[in-house]
A and B are shown apart, each in its own frame.
Chain A
Amino acid sequence: AAGVIQSPRHLIKEKRETATLKCYPIPRHDTVYWYQQGPGQDPQFLISFYEKMQSDKGSIPDRFSAQQFSDYHSELNMSSLELGDSALYFCASSPRQGLEGTQYFGPGTRLTVL
Chain B
Amino acid sequence: AQKVTQAQTEISVVEKEDVTLDCVYETRDTTYYLFWYKQPPSGELVFLIRRNSFDEQNEISGRYSWNFQKSTSSFNFTITASQVVDSAVYFCALRWAGGGNKLTFGTGTQLKVEL
**B78 to A: closest C-beta gap in Å:** 21
Bound-state CA distance A45–B44 (Å) is: 16
- Count of B interface residues, CB-CB < 8 Å: 26
Cross-chain contact A105 with B102 (CB below 8 angstroms): no
Choose, from A15-23, A76-84, A95-103, the stretch at the interface. Answer: A95-103
- Quick check: B44 and A108 within 8 Å, CB to CB? yes
Query: Which A residues are CB-close (under 8 A) to B104?
Result: 45
B104 to chain A, nearest CB (A): 8
B11 interface hit (Cβ, 8 Å)? no
- The distance in angstroms between the C-alpha atoms of A42 and B90, with both chains bound, is 10
The CA-CA distance from A90 to B91 in the complex, in Å, is: 15
> CB of A73 within 8 A of chain B?
no
Asked if A42 meets B107 with Cβ closer than 8 Å, knowing A97-B101, A99-B97, the reply is: yes
User: In the assembly, what is the distance between CA of A58 and CA of B100, in Å?
Assistant: 9
Within 8 A of A (CB), among B21-55: 31-33, 35, 37, 42-47, 50, 52
**Contacts of B101 on A, CB cut-off 8 Å?**
31, 33, 45, 48, 50, 55-56, 97
With A42-B107, A104-B47, A110-B43 already in contact, the answer to whether A99 and B102 are too (CB < 8 A) is no
Q: How far is the CA of A25 from the CA of B4 in the complex (A)?
A: 27
A sample of 26 inter-chain contacts (CB < 8 A) reads A31-B101, A33-B103, A35-B103, A42-B91, A42-B108, A43-B45, A43-B91, A43-B105, A45-B104, A56-B101, A58-B102, A88-B43, A97-B101, A99-B31, A99-B95, A100-B33, A100-B50, A100-B52, A102-B47, A102-B50, A105-B45, A105-B46, A105-B47, A107-B42, A108-B43, A110-B43
Which A residues form the contact surface with B (CB < 8 A)? 31, 33, 35, 41-43, 45, 48, 50, 55-56, 58, 88, 90, 92, 97, 99-100, 102-108, 110
Give the interface of B toward A (CB within 8 A).
Answer: 31-33, 35, 37, 42-47, 50, 52, 91, 95-97, 100-108
